[in-house]
Amino acid sequence: MDLNEMILISVDDHIIEPPDMFANHLPAKYADDAPRLVHMDNGADMWKFRDRIIPNVALNAVAGRPKEEYGLEPEGLDEIRPGCYDVHERIKDMNAGGVLAQMNFPSFPGFAARLFATEDSDFSLALVQAYNDWHVDEWCGAYPGRFIPMGLPVIWDAQLCAQEVRRLAKKGVHSLTFTENPAALGYPSFHDEYWNPLWKALVDTDTVMSVHIGSSGKLSIPAVDSPPDVMITLQPMNIVNAAADLLWSRPVKEYKDLKIALSEGGTGWIPYFLERVDRTFEMHSTWTLQDFGGKLPSEVFREHFLTCFISDPLGVKLRHDIGIDNIAWEMDYPHSDSMWPGAPEELGGVFADDHVPDGEVDKMTHLNAMRWYSFDPFVHVPREQATVGALRAAAAGHDVSIRALSKHESNAAEKLAAWEQQIAAATEMQRSN
């Protein structure tokens, strides 16, 4: 396929939230207690909510910056591309990168909005709903057809979470970001009937539970003196635990139309995973009493799970062992794994190397995302204006050059020292939990 003819929909990108996001949606009585962006003496902009400070970590917003600026230092908004937090600039960056649409995960509240869980449930719910309304009405609503809308969950209350899913569905939302391990956050596990109202709401509204790596805060933590490469290597592997836990869970058997996306987990591991679950079923189901209604676990996996990849040449090569209808592409803008702005070239190269037929390219680049998330961009964007070539033509003159933006002068040794401090803190947090 000519890369200029590809249509790209990414099912995993990220927002660096702008400072005014709560202005129009949070009830006035909560305004003084709302999270706010604070400019620090060192030039960093950090979200402050009660006694919590959440920095914009450099690795989370490095699109368009040289790799020498990658690291863990807190950043200011003036040190990152405006497309990270300004929807109008985001659209320009998307056009320049040839990307028709994105689904954007949150940043400072966490992927499961755990930050908003306070002792005051009404206030917490107001925060979640304010974020969701800002995301749907202002961010996605500014450019219809360019964003797959996504809702934050009411993680601390299954009934309220189900109600929020139904409320959002009326606004056209069919994706809910959620933790890959609620028990790690102190809530009942996926196997507990506590979550039944949520499962039913998801199925009733055709909403996908989009499970992002790291959403429980329980990434694999290496030794304090391990290099950062260890954790970065292991990050996608964290989704394997969630995949196994959910596949063997009661909800997958009882809610036949339940849909789950494994976000930013890659796909190359899935063929072995499917072989393993079938072998486990064959050898152990007689005493573990697992019953998939006459089907193999691998068959049930393909009925319920969407898998996502950034580049993943091996996953593309093994696409039929995974399930060609179960794969969607993600760009991960503006994180450090992102291929922006050269996604069409890199992705096109992966497809060309394995001689992927055009119909299968279309499934992985946009058709599967449209079907799983009940999203039709062509209601708003004519198909001939949605291709890589057409979008890039619309962005002619938009600067996508690699430019140094950081005001930090830290060297590699200082970056590694900051890394070790982060790992030590994360290790201590996991021990305390």
What's residue 284's pLDDT? 97
Cα separation, 114 vs 125, in Å, equals 11
105 phi and psi, to 5 degrees?
A: -80, 155
What's residue 430's pLDDT? 46
Instruction: Mark the ranges of the chain whose per-residue pLDDT is less than 50.
Output: 419, 423, 426-433
Q: How far is CA 212 from CA 106, 176, 198, 307, in A?
A: 11, 10, 18, 11
Give per-residue pLDDT as tens, 305-344: 999 999 999 999 999 999 999 999 999 999 988 999 999 9
What's residue 290's pLDDT? 96
Q: Considering only CA atoms, which of 65, 71, 152 is closest in space to residue 104?
A: 152
Cα separation, 416 vs 59, in Å, equals 13
Complete domains list, the chain, with CATH = 35-80+403-433 (no CATH), 105-397 (3.20.20.140)
What's residue 408's pLDDT? 65
Tell me the sheet residues that pair with 178: 211
Give per-residue pLDDT as tens, 379-414: 999 999 999 999 999 999 999 998 888 776 655 555
DSSP secondary structure letters along 143-172: STTSEE--B---TT-HHHHHHHHHHHHTTT
What's residue 379's pLDDT? 98
Query: Dihedral, CA atoms, 289, 294, 296, 297, nearest 10 degrees?
Result: -50
